[in-house]
Amino acid sequence: MKKKRENTTTISGFIIGATILRRYRRLHRHLFQLISVFSACLLLFLVSFSLLAPPPIRRHHHHHLSTSNDAMEIASDSDQETVFRVPASGGSLGRDLWSSRQSGSYVGCSNASGNFMTSDAKTNPNRYLLIATSGGLNQQRTGITDAVVAAYILNATLVVPKLDQKSFWQDSSDFAEIFDVDQFISFLSKDVKIIKELPVKGGKAMTPHSMRVPRKCTPKCYLNRVLPVLNKRHVVQLSKFDYRLSNKLSKHLQKLRCRVNYHALKFTDSILDMGEKLVEGMRKKSKHFIALHLRYEPDMLAFSGCDFGGGEKEREELGKIRKRWKTLHASNPDKVRRNGRCPLTPGEVGLMLRALGFGSDVHLYVASGEVYGGEETLAPLKELFPNFHTKDTIASKEELATFASFSSRMAALDFIVCDESDVFVTNNNGNMARMLAGRRRYFGHKPTIRPNAKKLYKLFMNRNNMTWEEFTSRVRTHQIGFMGEPREIKPGRGEFHENPEACICDTSDKSPKEASQQNQSEDSYKMDDNYKEDNKTRDSGDATDEQVPEDEQDWFDYLDNEAMLGEKRRQHNGADSEPGILSKPDQPELEELFSD
Ligand X SMILES: *[C@@H]1O[C@H](CO)[C@@H](O)[C@H](O)[C@H]1NC(C)=O
Q: Which residues of this chain interact with ligand X, rule CB under 6 A?
A: 75, 109, 111, 122, 154-155, 223, 227, 462, 465, 515-516, 519, 531-532, 535
Nearer Cβ to ligand X (127/212): 127
What is the nearest approach in angstroms of ligand X to the Cβ of residue 337? 16
Distance (Å, whole) CA 388 – CA 415: 18
Distance (Å, whole) CA 322 – CA 4: 41
What is the nearest approach in angstroms of ligand X to the Cβ of residue 440? 20
DSSP letter, residue 179: B
DSSP letter, residue 225: H
Nearer Cβ to ligand X (9/519): 519
Nearer Cβ to ligand X (98/531): 531
Tell me if 198 sits within 8 A of 130, measured CB to CB.
yes
* C-alpha of 17 from chain center: 45
Nearer Cβ to ligand X (470/545): 470
Q: Say which residues have a Cβ less than 8 Å from residue 475's Cβ, sequence separation at least 6.
A: 351, 352, 355, 356, 456, 459
Distance (Å, whole) CA 108 – CA 501: 9
What is the nearest approach in angstroms of ligand X to the Cβ of residue 584? 30
**Coil, helix or strand at residue 276:** helix
Alpha helix (H) residue ranges in 113-156: 119-122, 137-154
Distance (Å, whole) CA 166 – CA 168: 7
At position 254, the amino acid (one-letter code) is: Q
Nearer Cβ to ligand X (389/478): 478
Nearer Cβ to ligand X (258/306): 258
What is the nearest approach in angstroms of ligand X to the Cβ of residue 462? 4
Nearer Cβ to ligand X (270/507): 507
What is the nearest approach in angstroms of ligand X to the Cβ of residue 576? 19
What is the nearest approach in angstroms of ligand X to the Cβ of residue 416? 23
Closest CA to 141 of 242, 22, 38: 242
Exposure string of 370-381, with b = 16+ CB inside 10 Å and e = fewer, is ebbbeeebbbbb
Instruction: Describe the chain by its helix, strand, coil percentages, rounded to 5.
Output: 50, 10, 40
What is the nearest approach in angstroms of ligand X to the Cβ of residue 116? 12
* C-alpha of 592 from chain center: 16
Nearer Cβ to ligand X (137/238): 238
DSSP letter, residue 424: E
What is the nearest approach in angstroms of ligand X to the Cβ of residue 302? 29
Closest CA to 199 of 118, 127, 122, 121: 127
Number of neighbouring beta carbons within 10 Å of residue 503:
24
Distance (Å, whole) CA 412 – CA 478: 31
Nearer Cβ to ligand X (18/515): 515
> Cα Rg for the chain, rounded, in angstroms?
27
Nearer Cβ to ligand X (390/465): 465
Distance (Å, whole) CA 382 – CA 25: 55
Tell me if 198 sits within 8 A of 205, measured CB to CB.
yes
What is the nearest approach in angstroms of ligand X to the Cβ of residue 154? 6
Q: In sequence order, what E strands does 82-205 have?
A: 106-108, 128-131, 157-159, 194-195, 200-201, 204-205
What is the nearest approach in angstroms of ligand X to the Cβ of residue 156? 9
504-506 and 106-108 strand pairing: antiparallel
Which helix (H) or strand (E) segment holds residue 176: the answer is helix 175-178
DSSP letter, residue 161: P
Nearer Cβ to ligand X (227/543): 227
What is the nearest approach in angstroms of ligand X to the Cβ of residue 575? 24
Nearer Cβ to ligand X (258/318): 258
What is the nearest approach in angstroms of ligand X to the Cβ of residue 44? 21
